[in-house]
C-alpha cells in the first residue's frame, strides 16, 4: 500500500522560495573586488537570480548545460548557485588553485558551456582558453566600470548582462533527481573525478546539515563560510543558511587574510564559521599576537583534514568557541559525520575527553557507515578495530560523472569506499586513522600519521606538523616528522622526539624530525602528503633508528 502524502519534489527551488518568502530582509554581506563591503538582502539575491536565469536563456545555454564558476565566496556566486541549479542547469564549481592541466581536463570533461569568472582569475583562464574550445562565452563577475582588459573569446560583463533582463522568471518544476551541482575531486592520483549532486541529494544534505547535532544553525545565526564556494559547495552552508534564514558574511578573496576575517567576525557578529585547519592557524596566531578576540563566534566546523586537538582546545579555552570536528568528502556532498556530544560523552573529562574530541564525529542521520577488513568483512564498532571506511546514503555519490569504467571505490554495490581508514566506537563515533595511501606500514603493523601529527601540534614550538612514511630496510617504513617551527622558537629534533614518550606506543615514535620553512598544501588547503613524499624521496633515516 502506498502512503497518501503529497509527492512534492525535493528541489533547491523550494529552499530558495522558502528563504525568499520567510526571510526576505535577511542580509548577505560580501567582500568583492569592486566593493569592500557590499550589502543586500535575500530578496535582492533571489530577484537577481531570476534575472540571471533570463540571462542564461538569452545566452542560449542548454537546458542541462554545465555552467562553470571560477569564483570566491560572495553574493554573485550565491546568485549563480541558485540560478544555475534552479533553472535546471548544473553549477560546476571549479577550484582555481588546481594546476592548468587539471583545469583543462575538468572543464572539457564536464563540457562546460559558459564560465563565470571573478576578475582576478581572468588571466588564469586566458592561459587555458585555447584548450577549452567548447566554451561559448566567459562572463566576468563585475560591473562595466571594473571590467578588465581581456583576450578571452566572447567575454561579457555580469552586471551589464543582468541589467538588460527582467526579474520575472518562472522557475521550472524539475524532477527531484535532476542534477544540480558538479564538483571534481582534486585527483591526487589519476584524473579528477566528478561528483554530480542532484536537487534531492543536496536538499536532504541541507536538512541533515542544519540539525542540532550536525551544524545546529538557526535564523538567529550569522554564518561566515571560510571554506570556499568553489569546493564542495562551501560544505553546504549557502543552502543550509538560506533554508534557516541566517545572515551571511562572505569574505570574497580574503579567505586567508586573518585580519579581514577577524574584522568581519567582530563587526558583523559572526556566530558560526567553517574551514579546514590550515585556514585557522593564521587566524589564531593573529588573534593571539594582537590581543583581539572572537567574541561573537560560538562555534566553527573544522574538517577536511584532522583538526589538531591543540586547535580545538585553543578555540574552547581562550575564546569560548566550540569546534564541531566534522568529516566528509567531495563524494558525500560533503558532510558525513560531525562530532557533537551525546549523553555517553557529555561528562567525559581529562584524557578521555581529549581522545573523544579527536573523533571526527558520528554519522549525520541519513548516512550509514561501516568499516571492513581486507576481505570486505565488517569489523566491530569497538573503537579498536580499524579498516576501510565505507558509506552509503542519499547524498553519497553512486557513480562518478561520465567515467569510462566503474571506479573501484564503487566495487561493492550500494556502498562507497571512502579511501579512509577508521575505527568506530560503540557509540558510533569514528576516528579517522589515515587515508589508505598515507598510512605508515612499519613491520607489518600500521601507524597513524594523523595521531602523530596531533601529538606534535601540541608542542608549543610547532606551528605545523606532518608525518610521512620513509622507506626503511628492516621495517619497510618508519615515520618522519616534518615540522614548521613557530617564529623564533628554538627546538631540536631530540626534544620533539622525546615529547612523544608516553603519548603514543613506543614503536610509533617518529625516527627523525625534518625542519622546513613551509609544508606544501593541496588546492583545498590540506597538507599535501604527495608533495611531501616527493620532497623527501631521497631522504635516508639516521642509522640508529628502528625501534
Ligand atoms: P580533496 O582532499 O581531494 O579535496 P576532499 O575534500 O573530498 O578531497 O577530501 C576528503 C578527505 O579529507 C577524506 O576522505 C579524508 O581523508 C579527509 N578528511 C575530511 N575530514 C577529515 C577529518 N575530520 N579528519 C581526518 N581526515 C578528514
Delimit the domains of the chain by residue range: 12-424, 438-535
Ligand 1 midpoint to CA 204 (Å): 21
Please say if 446 is a catalytic residue.
yes
Distance CA 364, CA 508 (A): 32
Cis link prior to 334 (omega < 30° from 0)?
A: yes
Atom of ligand 1 nearest to the CA of 419: 14
Ligand 1 midpoint to CA 148 (Å): 36
Among 314, 446, 507, 526, the active-site one is: 446
CA distance readout (Å), 238 to 103, 114, 182, 327, 392: 24, 22, 15, 18, 24
Distance CA 360, CA 383 (A): 13
Ligand 1 midpoint to CA 327 (Å): 7
Distance CA 370, CA 9 (A): 30
Q: Whose CA is nearest to atom 19 of ligand 1?
A: 304
Q: Alpha-carbon Rg of the chain, whole angstroms?
A: 24
Contact partners, residue 328, CB within 8 Å, separation at least 6: 232, 235, 303, 304, 334, 335, 336, 337
Atom of ligand 1 nearest to the CA of 327: 20
Ligand 1 in contact with 233 (CB < 6 A)?
A: no
- Quick one: cell of 268? 558583523
Q: Where are the alpha helices (DSSP H) in 168-308?
A: 199-210, 237-244, 258-268, 277-290
Among 13, 32, 185, 524, the active-site one is: 185
What three-state secondary structure class fits 132? Answer: coil
Ligand 1 in contact with 97 (CB < 6 A)?
A: no
Please say if 395 is a catalytic residue.
no
**Phi, psi of 511, rounded to the nearest 5 degrees:** -80, -25
Distance CA 118, CA 140 (A): 6
Give the mean pLDDT per block of 10 residues along the chain (547 residues): 97 98 98 95 98 98 98 98 98 94 96 98 98 98 97 98 98 98 82 95 98 98 97 96 98 94 98 95 95 98 94 97 98 97 97 96 98 96 96 97 89 96 98 91 88 94 95 91 94 95 93 95 87 92 64
Domains 12-424 and 438-535 share a fold: no
Helix and strand counts by DSSP (H, E) for the chain: 16, 25
> Is residue 497 within 8 Å of residue 541, measured between CB atoms?
no
Q: Which residues pair with 224 in a beta bridge?
A: 273
Ligand 1 in contact with 304 (CB < 6 A)?
A: yes
Ligand 1 in contact with 305 (CB < 6 A)?
A: yes
- Quick one: cell of 450? 594523523
In what helix (H) or strand (E) does residue 467 lie, and over which residues does it extend? Answer: strand 462-472
Topology of the domain covering 438-535: GMP Synthetase; Chain A, domain 3 (3.30.300)
Please say if 331 is a catalytic residue.
yes
Among 441, 445, 492, 495, the active-site one is: 441
Q: Whose CA is nearest to atom 26 of ligand 1?
A: 305
Distance CA 370, CA 427 (A): 13
Distance CA 459, CA 494 (A): 13
The pLDDT value given to residue 546: 43
> Is residue 119 within 8 Å of residue 141, measured between CB atoms?
yes
Distance CA 426, CA 435 (A): 22
State the pTM of this model: 0.93
Distance CA 315, CA 297 (A): 10
Other beta carbons less than 10 A from residue 196's beta carbon: 20
> Is residue 300 within 8 Å of residue 323, measured between CB atoms?
yes
12-424 is classed CATH 3.40.50.620: no
Ligand 1 in contact with 325 (CB < 6 A)?
A: yes
Please say if 508 is a catalytic residue.
no
Ligand 1 in contact with 327 (CB < 6 A)?
A: yes
Q: Which residue has the cell 573544522?
A: 302
Distance CA 528, CA 511 (A): 21
The pLDDT value given to residue 190: 74
Dmax (CA) of the chain: 75
Amino acid at each position: 500500500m502506498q502512503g497518501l502524502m503529497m509527492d512534492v519534489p525535493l528541489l533547491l527551488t523550494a529552499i530558495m522560495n522558502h528563504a525568499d518568502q520567510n526571510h526576505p530582509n535577511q542580509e548577505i554581506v560580501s567582500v568583492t573586488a569592486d566593493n569592500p563591503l557590499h550589502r543586500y538582502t535575500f530578496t535582492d539575491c533571489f530577484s537577481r537570480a531570476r534575472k540571471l536565469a533570463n540571462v542564461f536563456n538569452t545566452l542560449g545555454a542548454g537546458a542541462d548545460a554545465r555552467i562553470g564558476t571560477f569564483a570566491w565566496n560572495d553574493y554573485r556566486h550565491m546568485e549563480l548557485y541558485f540560478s544555475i541549479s534552479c533553472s535546471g542547469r548544473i553549477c560546476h564549481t571549479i577550484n582555481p588553485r588546481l594546476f592548468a592541466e587539471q583545469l583543462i581536463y575538468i572543464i572539457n570533461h564536464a563540457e562546460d558551456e559558459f564560465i563565470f569568472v571573478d576578475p582576478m582569475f581572468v588571466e588564469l583562464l586566458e592561459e587555458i582558453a585555447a584548450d577549452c574550445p567548447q566554451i561559448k562565452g566567459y562572463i566576468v563577475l563585475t560591473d562595466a566600470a571594473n571590467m578588465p582588459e581581456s583576450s578571452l573569446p566572447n567575454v561579457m560583463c555580469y552586471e551589464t548582462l543582468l541589467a538588460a533582463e527582467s526579474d520575472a522568471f518562472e522557475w521550472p518544476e524539475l524532477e527531484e533527481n535532476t542534477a544540480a551541482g558538479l564538483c571534481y575531486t582534486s585527483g591526487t592520483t589519476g584524473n579528477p573525478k566528478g561528483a554530480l549532486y542532484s536537487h534531492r541529494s543536496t536538499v536532504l544534505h541541507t536538512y541533515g546539515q542544519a540539525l542540532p547535532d550536525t551544524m545546529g544553525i538557526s535564523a538567529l545565526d550569522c554564518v561566515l563560510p571560510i571554506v570556499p564556494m568553489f569546493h564542495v559547495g562551501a560544505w553546504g552552508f549557502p543552502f543550509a543558511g538560506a533554508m534557516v534564514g541566517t545572515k551571511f558574511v562572505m569574505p570574497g578573496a580574503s579567505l586567508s587574510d586573518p585580519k579581514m576575517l577577524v574584522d568581519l567576525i567582530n563587526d558583523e557578529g559572526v556566530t558560526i564559521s567553517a574551514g579546514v585547519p590550515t585556514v585557522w592557524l593564521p587566524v589564531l596566531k593573529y588573534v593571539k599576537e594582537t590581543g583581539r578576540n572572537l567574541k561573537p563566534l560560538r562555534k566553527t566546523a573544522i574538517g577536511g583534514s584532522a583538526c589538531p586537538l591543540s586547535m580545538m582546545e585553543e578555540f574552547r579555552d581562550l575564546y569560548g568557541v566550540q569546534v564541531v570536528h566534522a568529516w566528509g568528502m567531495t563524494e558525500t556532498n560533503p558532510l558525513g559525520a560531525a562530532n557533537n556530544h551525546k549523553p555517553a560523552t557529555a561528562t567525559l573529562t581529562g584524557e578521555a575527553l581529549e581522545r573523544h574530541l579527536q573523533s571526527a564525529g558520528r554519522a549525520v542521520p541519513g548516512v550509514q557507515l561501516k568499516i571492513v577488513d581486507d576481505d570486505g568483512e565488517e569489523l566491530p564498532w569497538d573503537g579498536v578495530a580499524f579498516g576501510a571506511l565505507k558509506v552509503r546514503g542519499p547524498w553519497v555519490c553512486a557513480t562518478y560523472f561520465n567515467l569510462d569504467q566503474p571506479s573501484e571505490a564503487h566495487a561493492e554495490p550500494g556502498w562507497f569506499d571512502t579511501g579512509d581508514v577508521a575505527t568506530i566506537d560503540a557509540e558510533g563515533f569514528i576516528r579517522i586513522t589515515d587515508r589508505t595511501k598515507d598510512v605508515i606500514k612499519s613491520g607489518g603493523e600500521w601507524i597513524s600519521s594523523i595521531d602523530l601529527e596531533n601529538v606534535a601540534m601540541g608542542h608549543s614550538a610547532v606551528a605545523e606538523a606532518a608525518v610521512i612514511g620513509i622507506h626503511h630496510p628492516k621495517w619497510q617504513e618508519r615515520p618522519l616528522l616534518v615540522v614548521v617551527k613557530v617564529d623564533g622558537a628554538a627546538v631540536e629534533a631530540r626534544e620533539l622526539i622525546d615529547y612523544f614518550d608516553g603519548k603514543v606506543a613506543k614503536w610509533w615514535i617518529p625516527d627523525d624530525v625534518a625542519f622546513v620553512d613551509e609544508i606544501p598544501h593541496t588546492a583545498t588547503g590540506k597538507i599535501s602528503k604527495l608533495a611531501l613524499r616527493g620532497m623527501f624521496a631521497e631522504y635516508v633515516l639516521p642509522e640508529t633508528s628502528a625501534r
